[in-house]
Structure 1
Amino acid sequence: MFHADRIIVAFDGSENSKKALLTAIDLAKTVNAAITVAHSHDMKDNQTVIDPPRPAAEASYISGGMTSVPDPLISDVTSPEPMIYEDRTEEVIAEARMMLNEQQADGDIDILEGDPAESIIEHANRISADMIVTGSRDQNRLKKLIFGSVSEKLSAKSDIPVLIVK
Structure 2
Amino acid sequence: MDQRILVPFDGSDASETALERALEENPDAEITALNVLDSAELAYGGVQGSAAESLTDAQREEAEELLERAEARAADHEGGFRTALEVGSPGEAIVEYANENDIDHIIMGSHGRSGLSRIVVGSVAETVVRNSPLTVTIAR
TM-score by length of 1: 0.68
Percent identical residues = 29
Unaligned runs of 5+ in 2: 45-50
Unaligned runs of 5+ in 1: 49-81
CA distance 1:16–1:147, shift in 2 (3 Å): same
CA distance 1:161–1:47, shift in 2 (3 Å): same
Pick aligned residue for 1:126 from 100, 120, 123: 100
Are 1:112 and 2:86 matched, yes or no? Answer: yes
Q: What residue in structure 1 maps to residue 6 of structure 2? A: 8
| Structure 2 counterparts to residues 85-96 of structure 1, below 5 A | 85=55, 86-87=58-59, 88-96=62-70
Q: Which one-letter code corresponds to 2:8 in the other structure? A: A
In 2, Cα distance between equivalents of 1:153 and 1:4: 27
In 1, Cα distance between equivalents of 2:43 and 2:9: 15
CA distance 1:135–1:45, shift in 2 (3 Å): farther
Contact residue 4 and residue 130 of structure 1 kept, 8 A? no
2:74 counterpart SS class: helix
| Structure 2 counterparts to residues 25-40 of structure 1, below 5 A | 25-29=23-27, 32-40=28-36
Are 1:97 and 2:71 matched, yes or no? Answer: yes
The number of residues matched between the two structures is: 128
| Structure 2 counterparts to residues 62-101 of structure 1, below 5 A | 85=55, 86-87=58-59, 88-101=62-75
